Structure formats: C-alpha cells, structure tokens
Amino acid sequence: MADPQPAAPDTDDEEQKVALNPEQEEVVDDRRAASALIVHEVVRRQGIEELERPAASLMWSGITAGIAIGLSLLGKAVMETAVPAGPWTPLLQSLGYAIGFVVVILGRMQLFTESTLSAVLPLATDPSARNLVRTLRLWGIVLLANLIGTFAFAGFAMLGGLGVEQARELVEVSGVVLEHVGMEGFLAGIPSGILLASVVWCLPSVEGQKVTLIVLLTGLIDLGGFAHVVAGSAEMWVLVLHGDMGAGQAMAFFLPVLFGNIVGGSVLFALLAHAQVRGEIEEG
C-alpha cells in the first residue's frame, strides 16, 4: 500500500519561511496585489449599491452619462479637424473617443455597459428571482436614461450648438455605425462589452493610473473598430437627425450591438470572473 501523501503546508507557515520584521511585513502587504476574490467583492458591493439606488437617481445619473459620453464623439471629431491627417489619425481619434468614458467612469455616472458586470455579480453570487428583477430594473432604467442623454447631445450638436463645422465633422465620424448592423454589429459589440467589463474589474486594483487604464481599454474600442451601444447611440442619433439613417437602420444597429455588449460584459466576462472565485465563496 502506497504511503499517504504528506499534507500541504499551511499557507501562513509557508509564508513565514522568510522572516521579516513588522515593517517589512507591512510593506509586503501593501505591495501585494489584491486577490481575485477581493476584486470580485469590491465590484459586487458596488453593484449592490447601484441596484439599491432610487429610480430617479439612476435616471438622472444615466441621462448625465449619456450627455457626457457624447464627448467621445466630439473628441473624435476634434481630432479629425485639429490635427493634419496621417497614419497617426486613428490613434489620435481613439484618444479622443476615450474622453467621454473618462468623464463618465471617474464621475461615477450610470453607464449601461458598466452595469453588465457590476449588477450581474450580485445575481451570479445569489441567483434569486429578487436579484434578477433588480438587475433588469437597473438595466432598463439606465439604458433608457443613456439614450435620452445621447439624444440630447446629438440634438444640441445638430441644432448648431457646437458650431456648423463641428456638426459636419460629427456627421462624418458617425458614419461608422452604418458598418455595425445586423450580425456585424453583434460581433463588434462583444469585444466592447468585454473591454468595459475589464475596466470595471481592474479599477479597484489600480492607484494613480485610473485614467491611463480607461484611456487604453476604451480607446481600443474605437481603434479596433468595435461597437459600443451607448457611445454608438450618440452617433446613431446624429445620423438620424441629419437624415442619413432611418428608424429601421437605427434598430438594425442598436439591437445587435446591445445584445453583443451584454454577451461580452455579462455572459462572458462577468460569469467567468465569478466562476474563478465561486469555490472560494462557497468554502467561506
């Protein structure tokens, strides 16, 4: 009969193999990256706070986010006109595209694609009818509010509030949504959902580099030719108000991209992020 395998050493005992004084132990703890379980719990509790917010608070925050995300469209347009065209133009436009996301995320405004992660983790941790209803309530209110906000931005711009030249450039850069219809829009929406969920997941672990993180990950949405339902809705409204897109085309863009963002942010990223710590949660 084979000898039994020796028990694995206790984690605390193993860590104490190297003797450190209290000050050194404190430095090690400070510099140790947060575990996946801690990050999960931070994002989950943020999601609970969002789920518990009054409907009016969610609506006004979502409208503000929709208006602010219009800065991404404006940033692209400004980069198009302010800098001579060249091979660097797509990169500069992606930096301009990230501006709206920086304002919305650091300003703690309600953006639908952020909630595809934060609002889903409480549901994944406790899959109950109550949590499902709360998640759907949050999604419905925030998505509607974001659309109202992007419409307000587009209406202001197309009425000349940003100037005739800027309105013309907004129409030009908005033409990209015509490429994201049907299955193309659905597939282009999945990476965007993953990237926005990645921002939410990584923010608790970064200190002093939040702007850099947001710019890199959201700028990649534009640089990679992906589709984001809220920022894209600002482009959609611009084309609708300008007469370049009808209601049918708008829905052919909006719905597939919406479902693509949900699949990327919730089905893929959120559920997989939860799966990696599920065993630790159950053991606790």
Q: What is the pLDDT of residue 271?
A: 85
Which stretches of the chain drop beneath a pLDDT of 70? 1-34, 284
pLDDT digits (tens, 9 = 90+) for 233-259: 999 999 999 999 999 999 999 999 999
- CA separation for the pair 70, 150 (Å, rounded): 6
Tokens of 128: 């109950």
pLDDT at position 204: 85
> Which tokens is 23 given?
């000050």
What integer pLDDT is reported at residue 79 of this predicted model?
86
- Which domains, from first to last, does the chain contain? 35-278 (1.20.1080.10)
Are 265 and 194 contacting, i.e. CB atoms less than 8 angstroms apart?
A: yes
Distance CA 217, CA 194 (A): 10
Sequence-distant (6+) residues with CB within 8 A of 217 are 195, 196, 198, 199, 202
**What DSSP line would sit under 136-181, residue for residue?**
HHHHHHHHHHHHHHHHHHHHHHHTTTT-HHHHHHHHHHHGGGGGS-
Q: Which residues of 195-208 are buried (b: 16+ CB within 10 A; e: fewer)?
A: bbbbbbbbbeeeee
* Both tokens assigned to 77: 């347009």
The reported pLDDT for the residue numbered 138 is: 95
Neighbouring residues of 107: CB distance < 8 A, sequence distance ≥ 6? 64, 65, 68
Q: What is the pLDDT of residue 41?
A: 87
Structure tokens at 79: 């980069």
pTM for this one? 0.86
Q: What is the pLDDT of residue 246?
A: 93
